[in-house]
Amino acid sequence: MNLDSTARDARVELAHGSGGRATSRMVRQLFLRHLPSPELHQLHDGAVVPLAGPLAISTDAFVVDPLFFPGGDIGKLSVCGTVNDVAMCGARPTSLAAAFVLEEGLTLDELESIVASMAQTCAAAGVSIVTGDTKVVPRGKGDRVFIITTGVGQVLPGVSVGPSRIRPGDRILVSGPVGDHGTTILALRAGVDVGLELRSDCAPVAAEVMALLERIPEVHALRDPTRGGLAAVLNEFAEQSGTGFVIDEAAVPVSAATRAAADILGLDPLQMACEGRFVAVLPAERADEALALLRSLPACAQAADIGGVVTEHPAKVTARTAIGGDRLLDVFEGEPLPRIC
């Protein structure tokens, strides 16, 4: 099959993973057409990029089902996920590596849409894909496409973030409504229609994180609430820091569409994945300034101060409910939400 073919049903074939002419055509006519970085266009075994330390590196694999969803697709997600993870290390993301595992039979139109989406998201995030790889597996041995991305970035001067820096008295900020991504994916699979626009929050957050750290480098910890959602992040922070976390459930922003869909599905929005939000823990005396800064940024207009760090009940998280009671905010047991990212 020639990649130049005008056939509407042109698909990935095993030959595209052979390293021969079919591979070369796919790389040059599809990938390089959308991904402009000079390093990638050298078609070398790797990339040499000018970076000064200290550096942050993160890698992630993406297997989301379905590949395309309201608010994004696996390509956009694969860029956002890794860019955001690098930013959570207090680093400005600069470069990505991307590897694709393609299943024989994937349409080339789908693949091109995914790669084009990655290119658009890279441009929005200020990063470049500088090296990559493709492999093709036989029909039935994969699920259309899996993507692995690795990102690198430069840590901002004077910034050091991590759970070990969390202290009692710190405040907890979240950058916007939680649970949108995971709820959207599960509602789409289940065919749930809530009569409202349900949409993934998939987006790069590095620019917003950098703005926060440049103003307030004393931020103690950052994390993006992906699998397991806000609940997982807070429990990880509490366990790793040996402190207790208390949040006001009514203060946590949740969109009407996500809340409605979660109610129908019997899920807790605080346990549902986000792909365009972050949690920041920082000294109480800087919390108001940080919140005002975040709310001045369009992507974080609904940022909120949702609670604080305490000495009581170390390694546990409690949520104060709307009726004034407290509940233990725990994490999932097992994997009830497979393939949401």
pLDDT per position as a tens digit, 134-189: 999 999 999 999 999 999 999 999 999 999 999 999 999 999 999 999 999 999 99
CATH topology of domain 163-328: Phosphoribosyl-aminoimidazole Synthetase; Chain A, domain 2 (3.90.650)
CATH architecture assignment, domain 14-155: 2-Layer Sandwich (3.30)
Q: Give the pTM.
A: 0.95
Distance CA 274, CA 8 (A): 35
State how beta strands 244-248 and 304-310 pair.
antiparallel
Considering only CA atoms, which of 84, 62, 275, 118 is closest in space to residue 183? 275
Distance CA 149, CA 147 (A): 7
pLDDT of 309 over the 80 cut: yes
Domain with CATH 3.90.650.10 in the chain: 163-328
Report the mean per-residue pLDDT for the chain. Answer: 94
pLDDT of residue 335: 60
Domain with CATH 3.30.1330.10 in the chain: 14-155
pLDDT of residue 5: 44
pLDDT of residue 3: 60
231-257: buried (b, 16+ CB within 10 Å) or exposed (e) per residue? bbbbbbbbeebebbbbbbbeebbbbeb
> What is the average per-residue pLDDT within 93-115?
98
Distances (CA, A) of 264 to 151, 267, 327: 37, 8, 21
State how beta strands 326-328 and 317-320 pair.
antiparallel
Distance CA 249, CA 230 (A): 11
Distance CA 151, CA 189 (A): 30
Confidence class of residue 334 from pLDDT cuts 50, 70 and 90? low
